[in-house]
Structure 1
Amino acid sequence: MYGEVISTERLSSHLVRVVLGGPGLDGYVHGEDADQYVNCFFLPDGAPYAVPFEDDEVRALPREQRPFPRRITVRSWDAGRGELTLDIAAHGDIGYAGRWASHARPGDRLQFRGPAGGYRPHADADSYLLVGDESALPAIAACAEAVPAGRPVVAVVEVEDADGEVALSSPGELEVRWVHRARQSGAPEDLLAEAVAALPRPVGVVSAFVHGEAEATRAVRRVLLREGIVEEARLSCSPYWRRGMDDEAWRAVKAAWTREVAAEPVG
């Protein structure tokens, strides 16, 4: 499945919105999870093929010519218009996804598989906690819009500075706390955990979504579980990337790292 770029918009210093449309999206079915994502394929420079391509066609090529898969959050799907909106974290020309989004123009094509997802705010929770950095901001925005009306929801989001902030909305009673890396002197992996630990303790059952940098999500997970703020069954915690590693290096060790974190004592 593939889409053609209809429009692009820079939402913040590190976030680009790309709207896809066209007949390549025929048959797309959006799921029920709030954190829906598609597995996109970004072509390397000089690729001897174009979108759409067949999987068998590219598997036979040398590794450096094959497309690079990246999971990208679906910000929204407009079934009536047949338009798929992706908000993609972009840090200059670092990373295949961000570089593609920064340079995308109408008519460009992007191939993907999916969608898939794993979290929707629990309908029976008393309140909601959404935590992450720029990479998780699109999913946080979608989750905030999926909470039941009138219930408290707190979003704690790490960005570089005020230029990284975007407007968030929710049918719930939304409070957003921005954590600016540029103003902090502590260890970067501790910034979100410290901000979460400083929150007033919520009352009742909490549903939590914690995604972003690997060590940062691990630190937040420790706070939430060791303090008994969230039951593990109501916590979605996933590392999108890891500081000091490029995408390929992180993909090679992510599964083992995730198992290690899941086995970590929380008492």
Structure 2
Amino acid sequence: MYGTVVRSAPLIPHLYRVVLGGEGLDDFADPTFADSYVNMFFLSEGAAYAPPFDTEAVRDLPREQRPYPRRISVRSWDQSARELTVDIAVHGEVGYAGRWALHARAGDRVQLRGPAGDFSPPEDAEAYLMVGDESALPAIAACLEAVPAGRSVVALVEVDGPDDELTLDSPGDLQVAYVHRAGRTEPERLLVDALGGLRLPPGRLSAFVHGEASSIRAVRRHLLGRALVDPSMLSCSPYWHRGHTDEEWRSIKKDWVRAMTAEIP
């Protein structure tokens, strides 16, 4: 399966929206979960093949010639137009996904697989909390739109600065708080320190905590250690790790998540 770029543009300085369409999405299924994602396959410079390609055949190529898969959140899927919208965090030429989004132009193709996912705001929650950074902002935005009407929901988002604040909407009773990273020391403390200063809504709380590994680990420890959320109502996943390349992070992620989970099961 592959998508063809229909249009692309920055939403905010560090988040680019890319809309995919074309016949390569004829078999794309309607996403089931609010946090649905697709695996997109990004090619190294000078690759001798292009989408669509045989994903099994390219596995036999040397590592530097194989595509680099990345999980990218589905921002929206327009069933009638057969258009898939993805928002991708961009920080210059760093990272395969961000670099591709920065240079994406109409007519470009990208191979993908999915969708998949595992979280939607649970109906039996009485209130909701969404926490993350730019990498999680597309998933947070999609989850906010799936909150039942009228229920309390808090979104706490870390971005580089004021220009990166994105307007968020929800049918729920939404409170949004942004924290700015630029010029701050100990960035891994920004979210958890800000969370400690928020008044969380009362009632059975569902929490969606995704983003940079050290930051979300601190938030997880805060929420579970203070019994602010039941473990069964917490969705927590590290997307990336400060100081590590994508490939370095992928090589240690399983062990890192295992250690994080063992702190407070």
Q: What TM-score does the superposition give when structure 1 sets the normalisation length?
A: 0.97
The CA RMSD over aligned residues, in Å, is 1.0
- Per-residue CA deviation, residues 137-188 of structure 1 (Å, 9 max, x unaligned), is 0000000000000011100000000111111100001111000012534x11
Contact 2:8 2:104 in 1 (8 A): yes
Query: Which residue in the other structure is 2:149 paired with?
Result: 149
1:238 Cα deviation after fit: 0.2
Contact 2:154 2:200 in 1 (8 A): no
Query: Which residue in the other structure is 1:63 paired with?
Result: 63
- Per-residue CA deviation, residues 223-261 of structure 1 (Å, 9 max, x unaligned), is 111111110000000000001100001001101111111
Contact 1:193 1:220 in 2 (8 A): yes
CA distance in 1, matches of 2:183, 2:148: 34
CA distance in 2, matches of 1:56, 1:264: 38
Secondary structure, aligned partner of 1:102 = helix
Query: Which residue in the other structure is 1:33 paired with?
Result: 33
- Number of aligned pairs? 265
Secondary structure, aligned partner of 1:119 = coil
CA distance in 2, matches of 1:207, 1:26: 35
Q: Any stretches of 5+ residues in structure 2 without a counterpart?
A: none
Query: Which residue in the other structure is 2:190 paired with?
Result: 191
Secondary structure, aligned partner of 1:263 = helix
Q: Is 1:212 the equivalent of 2:211?
A: yes
Query: Which residue in the other structure is 1:264 paired with?
Result: 263
1:198 Cα deviation after fit: 1.1
Secondary structure, aligned partner of 1:157 = strand
Contact 1:123 1:148 in 2 (8 A): yes
Percent sequence identity over aligned pairs? 60
Q: Any stretches of 5+ residues in structure 1 without a counterpart?
A: none
CA distance in 1, matches of 2:201, 2:172: 15
CA distance in 2, matches of 1:17, 1:265: 36
1:56 Cα deviation after fit: 2.9
Query: Which residue in the other structure is 2:221 paired with?
Result: 222
Contact 1:35 1:142 in 2 (8 A): yes
AA at the equivalent of 1:94:
V
Contact 1:202 1:229 in 2 (8 A): no
Query: Which residue in the other structure is 2:79 paired with?
Result: 79
- Per-residue CA deviation, residues 178-215 of structure 1 (Å, 9 max, x unaligned), is 00012534x11111011111111431100110000001
AA at the equivalent of 1:243:
R
Q: After the TM superposition, which segments of 4 or more aligned residues of structure 1 sit over 6 Å from their partners?
A: none
